[in-house]
Chain A
């Protein structure tokens, strides 16, 4: 699809109500093609719900969502999303390589004309030697790297990432965000990233939307004007701390309101 046809993801007045609880107050959100937008918020604030609404896994109670002018359901059909769930959700009976290929193997009609080379991607995340291993033989960080490759393997224009590194230890988390930034860098991929980690939000994003606690609403949006490509050294930059601090204040103001 030529960039001219791409309007990005537009969510207007989107809310979600489960039975008697409001999970999400009406939210407006846009993600331009190639832009990395992070939803930052406390646990249970509805940020995952918003991601699931965008992915068409759940219908919104109000509002509209379009993906390059298309409905979420139609976008799913045409494999416009590379989803990275919180748990790696690898299939234990498939090898690493077969897991990385999973999304390529399903809904073949939705595949792009040229699929990325999975072996090449595995090599880029340092798993070339583990192609024939099974998921239970991998560490948590390695499993989630397979999850990343699996999402990148269908060359979707949008990646939806639901706290993918939440279950990892601090050092592995840092490695993973550095890796993810490198993977995203040369592409024109739009990313919706959900996290409650300030460092992840600042390091990866072009823009961060901070959500209040339930029912979630956007209490503020912060542009991250750090140079690209992002390199780990940027985390020592005073500008990095300044944005982190700004986000923390927004987060606490949202939690107390």
Chain B
């Protein structure tokens, strides 16, 4: 029993989490850190329990922004990526746009988006989708291009249609890289959603709750909101991981090393 525990990854992850929380708690209490700078985990817990409905509602709002935004980005990226994978000049021509999206800080242009699309949800969804498109596009193009050349010949030898090649060969070939991009984009999209909620004059969402906490100098609410956002991010990673396990069970990355 003990021996098996020592082998278990989740056992050691739990140990790591507990050590982290204990160190955090001890650091804040021993150094007497101000609430606004860092709140100990125990107080975050009690702040959450004072008004759980408030945090859960905001988590729900932000997770909707994240999921819908990522879904829009994925649909656009699959269509756009499939096109780029098929037409090389177009791929080169689209590089400036994709790189521009990647490197330009959203902080700089969020006000323009709000001015254009109005306050609240439209601007938030736009930002989440906009910043997550490049990684999805790169993953789609790379994955589709990487489809086994011998399999492509096989498809050609019986005159497979473009649609059949896309659906039965290129899209499944792109799944592994799409999942890698999804893990990255869950973090990026969550940051964009949080920031946009605070900046787009929306009425709810974790980002707006955090902005108000800062405005009213509420350190404990701010830190509880931050931790709720982190919890949402972890949840997102877990969902992606579980989807990956079920959809990519055939892929080398998902097989047990012992086999």
A45-83 interface mask toward B, CB cutoff 8 Å, 1 = contact, 0 = none? 000000010011100000000000000010011010101
Is A106 an interface residue when CB atoms closer than 8 A count as contact?
A: yes
A85 touches B154 (CB 8 A): yes
Interface size of B in residues (CB-CB distance below 8 Å): 21
Point out the residues of chain B lying under 8 angstroms from A102, CB to CB. 154, 168
A134 touches B157 (CB 8 A): no
Point out the residues of chain B lying under 8 angstroms from A93, CB to CB. 172, 175, 250-251
Is A86 an interface residue when CB atoms closer than 8 A count as contact?
A: yes
Query: CB-nearest residue of chain A relative to B248?
Result: A93
Smallest beta-carbon distance A118→chain B, Å: 15
Point out the residues of chain B lying under 8 angstroms from A135, CB to CB. 250
Please tell me which one of the listed residues B154, B160, B175 contacts residue A89 in the complex, with CB atoms under 8 A apart: B154
A100-122 interface mask toward B, CB cutoff 8 Å, 1 = contact, 0 = none? 00110111001000000000000
Query: CB-nearest residue of chain B relative to A77?
Result: B159
Smallest beta-carbon distance B151→chain A, Å: 4
Is B252 an interface residue when CB atoms closer than 8 A count as contact?
A: yes
Q: A57-B153, A83-B153 are in contact. Are A91 and B169 (CB under 8 A)?
A: yes
A85 touches B255 (CB 8 A): no
Is B1 an interface residue when CB atoms closer than 8 A count as contact?
A: no
B158 touches A107 (CB 8 A): yes
Point out the residues of chain B lying under 8 angstroms from A136, CB to CB. 250, 252, 255
A110 touches B151 (CB 8 A): no
A107 touches B154 (CB 8 A): no
CB interface residues, B 127-180, toward A, < 8 Å: 148, 150-151, 153-161, 164, 168-169, 172, 175
Binding site for B on A (CB under 8 A): 52, 55-57, 73, 76-77, 79, 81, 83, 85-87, 89, 91-93, 102-103, 105-107, 110, 134-136, 154, 160
